[in-house]
Amino acid sequence: LMAKQLVKSKDKIPVIIGDYGPMWVYPTSTFDCIVADPKKGTKMYGLKSYIEYQLSTTNTNRTVNHRYKHFDWLYERLLVKFGLAIPIPSLPDKQVTGRFEEEFIKMRMERLQAWMSRMCRHPVVSESDVFQQFLNFRDEKEWKTGKRKAEKDETVGCMIFAAVEPEAPDFDMTEVEQKCEAVGKFTRAMDDGVKDLLNVGQEHWKRCTGPLPKEYQKIGKALQNLSQVFGTSGYQGETDLNSAITEAGKTYEVIATMVEEQPRKDLHFLMETNHEYKGFLSCFPDIISAQKGAIEKVKESDKLVATSKITQQDKTNMIKRVSTMSYALQAEMNHFHSNRIYDYNSVLRLYLEQQIQFYEAIAEKLKQALSRFPVM
């Protein structure tokens, strides 16, 4: 907490005061990174195989290849460097079996894409050397050099706060404590809410892809079966009715498929967004406990000054550093909230739009089926 370190000016992380309070400085232009084209590669004369993804960065037009384990390396570096100030969500799970299956590769790529886009949108992470170098190295040598440099970076863990420079007066300790409490309370409550929605969504997904379409299929079969029996009556003038019943039966089979496929079109995205936020939220306990640890140290500092274990100047420095930590937390929370509002608004709009289309499409199918029935 008391450590001083020389931080190069280009590595400084300013916090300014915006309309919503402390905020990171956002770069004037943003970029994204497209993860695509998963290719199977081999090494050790074909003994080992792996999947390599192509990463294209939109602002530099540079394209690099990375394996999952490189992403994992990047994640570790970002976690070590920023983890006490910025939530760095985990990568999609490492999976050992079935990792060459197409469905798995597609899903992993989609999640790596989401993860990279998150990182690209973060004003501090995206501007960091390690991140830039991951996306923009020119050749194997530059990658290796960058890797070694990143691993030797000393502005990691608590040290990151030495780089943070709030352009505003220090907070007093009461405000620091209150903000920390509020963030803890909010992130725990949101974590519960997100997990709740994930559980409900999971359950709904299972029903929509399992028993429900099976039931619609059965209804469809039962109707078709009945119309087939009716067709054997030998009674004249019921062909129109029977073909209408057959069509209605087929319609319910189509509805079964629609029901089964629908979650991929709406619930999927709602789940993925919540999954991402669950990842963010699981990072907060570490961030909160770093803040709380620092607050406790400041509280103990009077005793330490009295017993001459630290000087008055040390204590002043400690208070300043805790205030800086709080600036960082508040800047990060404002980043988090503005993203959250945007993300949940987008994904819920998408969900409702898709649900509307789904119910309207079913109604339309049923209308067609109804129109086949004779009017008696």
Residue 198 half-sphere exposure toward CB, CA atoms < 13 A: 14
Q: Binder to a copy of itself among 1, 7, 156, 241 (CB under 8 A)?
A: 241
Q: What per-residue string of b and e applies to 120-133 under the rule 16 or more CB within 10 Å gives b? A: bbbbbbbbbbbbeb
| Nearest CB to a copy of itself, comparing residues 79 and 333 | 333
CA angle centred on 325, ends 329 and 191, rounded to 5°:
30
Q: Binder to a copy of itself among 1, 17, 212, 254 (CB under 8 A)?
A: 212
| Nearest CB to a copy of itself, comparing residues 61 and 233 | 233
**By CB under 8 A, residue 45 contacts a copy of itself:** no
Residues 6+ apart with CB under 8 A from 32: 57, 58, 116, 117, 120, 121
| Nearest CB to a copy of itself, comparing residues 292 and 340 | 340
Contact (CB, 8 A) for 86 and 125:
yes
Least CB distance to a copy of itself at residue 346 (A): 7
Least CB distance to a copy of itself at residue 342 (A): 6
| Nearest CB to a copy of itself, comparing residues 297 and 372 | 372
**By CB under 8 A, residue 369 contacts a copy of itself:** yes
Q: Binder to a copy of itself among 245, 256, 259, 328 (CB under 8 A)?
A: 245
Q: Sheet containing 21-24: which strands, arranged edge to edge? A: 21-24, 13-18, 164-166
**By CB under 8 A, residue 268 contacts a copy of itself:** no
Bridge partner residues of 56 (DSSP)? 34, 63
**By CB under 8 A, residue 345 contacts a copy of itself:** yes
- SS3 label, residue 124: coil
Q: Binder to a copy of itself among 61, 203, 264, 316 (CB under 8 A)?
A: 203
| Segment interacting with a copy of itself, rule: CB under 8 A, options 41-49, 90-98, 314-322, 330-338 | 330-338
| Segment interacting with a copy of itself, rule: CB under 8 A, options 62-70, 152-160, 228-236, 319-327 | 228-236
| Nearest CB to a copy of itself, comparing residues 40 and 337 | 337
Site pattern 173..202 for a copy of itself (x: CB under 8 A): ---------x--xx--xx-xxx-xx--xx-
Spatial separation of the C-alpha atoms in residues 286 and 288, rounded to whole Å: 5
Contact (CB, 8 A) for 127 and 14:
no
**By CB under 8 A, residue 230 contacts a copy of itself:** yes
| Nearest CB to a copy of itself, comparing residues 49 and 199 | 199
| Nearest CB to a copy of itself, comparing residues 95 and 178 | 178
- SS3 label, residue 330: helix
Q: What per-residue string of b and e applies to 165-197 under the rule 16 or more CB within 10 Å gives b? A: ebeeebbeeeebbebbeebbeebeebbeebeeb
Q: What is the pairing mode between strands 13-18 and 164-166?
A: parallel
Spatial separation of the C-alpha atoms in residues 211 and 261, rounded to whole Å: 13
CB count within 10 Å of CB 253 equals 18
| Residues of this chain, 11-30, that bind a copy of itself according to CB under 8 A | 19-20
Least CB distance to a copy of itself at residue 47 (A): 48
Q: What is the pairing mode between strands 21-24 and 164-166?
A: unpaired
**By CB under 8 A, residue 342 contacts a copy of itself:** yes
CB count within 10 Å of CB 309 equals 11
Least CB distance to a copy of itself at residue 48 (A): 44
Least CB distance to a copy of itself at residue 23 (A): 12
Spatial separation of the C-alpha atoms in residues 315 and 116, rounded to whole Å: 40
**By CB under 8 A, residue 50 contacts a copy of itself:** no
Spatial separation of the C-alpha atoms in residues 1 and 316, rounded to whole Å: 12
Interface positions with a copy of itself (CB under 8 A): 19-20, 182, 185-186, 189-190, 192-194, 196-197, 200-201, 203-204, 207, 211-212, 215, 218-219, 222-223, 225-226, 228-230, 232-238, 241, 244-245, 248, 333-334, 337-338, 340-342, 344-346, 348-349, 352-353, 355-356, 359-360, 362-363, 366-367, 369-370, 373-374, 376
